[in-house]
């Protein structure tokens, strides 16, 4: 029965059903064949999204969009240009730096690619950078978005397991910084062999002015993070505080946001959130079927029957997640695979918080690999370059992602150090 469920799901994916509908249709086939009442469709959809912590997802998406419309993207990019512009390949370094800062106000990679890419890709092309390289840098660096807090995949992982969102946010911080630093190193090395122009070094006052312009955006990340860690807000409350904060900063400090723009931004954020929540709702049903069929136990038994060696099991898990992430959208893959593999990881002594970071890292790598790397598609449409060309130029950055994944997998302190410092 489980094979039929998975087969229908794969066929639906191949013929371009939206992923959420592909999940629902495979569930529907299973339900009908097994004579389960169809009322389970709306019932599981409702129970899947009636979870308090999920309220934070539209909140963080809206806060990020408000900040973006408030003009923060340009200010972040300007600041990073002051910081890195004088270095060879400075614009690619600025692109990565901007993505890391932008990650602190948005929770998804795609919004990072779109926001930073729209400004940086044309700017890099204008300065003589090759279009495929500009797109590759943008797509790769945007993958720090779902790791550095706030992170939508981390909220989903928390919803699935009841783990603390605050701990998960903290657990992603160091791996996110490692990833970004690794990308900066690669960009720097690549630039040494390219005739990229340097800009004159910015004065200290220019750098400080840039910092003061981006201060309000950086402050939002700290309010979210320390509001949750300090016990001042729940993650949902933190997301709404971020919304109010972003609106006030955009309206009264940056003054680029207009009151009349707010309903449109709210609508846009809700549409993105609705498509995500419908995916979450249908995945709740899919997960219920997998549990009913005993798939998590089956996978756990098979894997642990083969070996109980932690290193080998983690290699298997990483390979499975990398493969799934290559062919499936991050959130959908997380919703389906995370609960299934968590049992196995915990059995061999992996901390669930560390495992959440491992899973998210694995799945975000798929955002920049063909055939379904969403960030590649967004960057390619901005830079007007073929996916194939970007896919080749992105390889050194992918190696960094794999290296960070290996480090996070085998050195638990990288992900558990910060949560341990603040929570225990």
Partner 1 sequence: MKNKPNIIVPILEIGTIISAFALIFTVILQIVTRRFFTDIAPSWTEEASRFFFIYTISFGAGLAQREGYFVSMDYFYRKFNPNTKRIIDMITTSISAILFLLMSVYSIHFIVLGMEETSPGLGLPMSIAFLSMLIMSGTVLYYLLKQLINQIKSESK
Closest to 71 measured CA to CA, from 243, 211, 213, 256: 256
- Work out which of 2, 123, 270, 299 binds partner 1, going by CB under 8 A: 270
**Ramachandran quadrant class, 194 (left: phi over 0; alpha: psi -120 to 50; beta: rest):** beta
| Nearer CB in complex with partner 1: 133/377 | 377
Query: Do the beta carbons of residue 72 and residue 247 sit within 8 Å?
Result: no
The residues in 181-220 that bind partner 1, with binding defined as CB under 8 A, are none
9 binds partner 1, rule: CB under 8 A: no
Q: Which two tokens stand for residue 251?
A: 């309206």
Is-contact 367 375, C-beta < 8 A? yes
Q: Is 4 in the site for partner 1 (CB under 8 A)?
A: no
Give the closest residue to 166 by CA, choosing from 152, 178, 179, 149: 149
**Element of type H or E holding 108:** none
Among 16, 35, 162, 260, binds partner 1 (CB under 8 A): 16
The Cα 261–Cα 185 span in angstroms is 39
Bond before 150 cis per omega within 30 degrees = yes
Using CB under 8 A, pick the residue from 34, 42, 230, 294 that binds partner 1. 42
The answer to whether 233 contacts partner 1 (rule: CB under 8 A) is: yes
- Of 276 and 353, CB closest to partner 1: 276
Site for partner 1 in 273-292 (CB under 8 A): 273-275, 277-278
Which tokens hold the place of 181? 């630093």
Contact indicator for 161, 337 with CB cutoff of 8 Å: no
- Which residue number, 17 or 188, has a Cβ lying nearer to partner 1? 17
Minimum CB separation from partner 1 for residue 159, in Å?
A: 13
Q: Does 45 bind partner 1 (CB under 8 A)?
A: yes
Calpha distance 70→65 (Å, rounded)? 8
Closest to partner 1 by CB, 107 or 176: 107
Interface stretch with partner 1, choices 94-102, 131-139, 174-182, 369-377 (CB under 8 A): 369-377
Q: Which of 370, 396, 417, 420 binds partner 1 (CB under 8 A)?
A: 370
Which DSSP string do the residues of 237-290 spell out, in sequence order? HHHHHHHHHHHHIIIIIS----GGGHHHHHHHHHHHHHHHHHHHHHHHHHHHHH
* Shortest distance in whole angstroms from residue 254 CB to partner 1: 20
> Of residues 62-91, which lie at the interface with partner 1 (CB under 8 A)?
62
Q: Which residues of the chain form contacts with partner 1 (CB under 8 A)?
A: 12-22, 24-25, 28, 38-39, 41-43, 45-46, 49-50, 52, 54-55, 58-59, 62, 232-233, 236-237, 240-241, 243-244, 263, 266-267, 270-275, 277-278, 327-329, 370-372, 374
């Amino acid at each position: 029965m489980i094979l039929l469920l998975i087969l229908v799901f794969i066929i639906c994916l191949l013929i371009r059903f939206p992923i959420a509908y592909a999940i629902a249709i495979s569930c529907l086939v299973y339900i009908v064949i097994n004579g389960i009442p169809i009322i389970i469709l709306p019932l599981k959809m409702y129970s899947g999204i009636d979870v308090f912590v999920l309220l934070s997802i539209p909140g963080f998406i809206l806060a990020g969009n408000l900040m973006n419309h408030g003009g923060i993207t340009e200010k972040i990019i300007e600041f990073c240009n002051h910081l890195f512009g004088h270095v060879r390949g400075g614009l690619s370094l600025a692109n990565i730096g901007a993505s890391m800062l932008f990650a602190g106000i948005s929770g998804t990679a795609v919004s990072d690619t779109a926001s930073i890419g729209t400004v940086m890709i044309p700017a890099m092309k204008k300065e003589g950078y090759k279009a495929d390289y500009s797109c590759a840098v943008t797509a790769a660096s945007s993958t720090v978005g779902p790791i550095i807090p706030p992170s939508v995949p981390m909220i989903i992982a928390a919803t699935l397991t009841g783990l603390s969102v605050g701990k998960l946010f903290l657990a992603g911080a160091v791996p996110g910084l490692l990833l970004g630093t690794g990308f900066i190193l690669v960009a720097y090395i690549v630039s040494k062999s390219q005739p990229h122009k340097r800009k004159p070094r910015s004065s200290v006052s220019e750098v400080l002015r840039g910092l003061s312009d981006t201060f309000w955006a950086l402050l939002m990340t700290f309010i979210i993070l320390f509001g949750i860690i300090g016990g001042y807000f729940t993650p949902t409350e933190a997301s709404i505080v971020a919304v109010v904060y972003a609106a006030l900063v955009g309206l009264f400090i940056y003054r680029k946001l207009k009151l009349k723009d707010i309903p449109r931004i709210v609508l846009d954020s809700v549409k993105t959130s609705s498509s995500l929540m419908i995916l979450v709702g249908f995945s709740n049903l899919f997960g219920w079927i997998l549990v009913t069929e005993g798939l998590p136990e089956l996978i756990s038994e098979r894997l642990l029957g083969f070996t109980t060696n932690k290193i080998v099991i983690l290699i298997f898990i990483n390979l499975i997640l990398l493969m799934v992430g290559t062919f499936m959208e991050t959130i959908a893959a997380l919703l389906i695979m995370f609960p299934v593999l968590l049992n196995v990881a915990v059995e061999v002594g992996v901390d669930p918080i560390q495992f959440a970071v491992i899973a998210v890292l694995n799945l975000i790598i798929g955002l920049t690999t063909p055939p379904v790397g969403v960030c590649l598609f967004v960057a390619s449409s901005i830079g007007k370059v073929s996916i194939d060309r970007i896919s080749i130029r992105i390889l050194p950055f992918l190696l960094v992602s794999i290296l960070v994944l290996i480090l996070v997998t085998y050195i638990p302190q990288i992900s558990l150090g910060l949560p341990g410092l603040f929570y225990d």
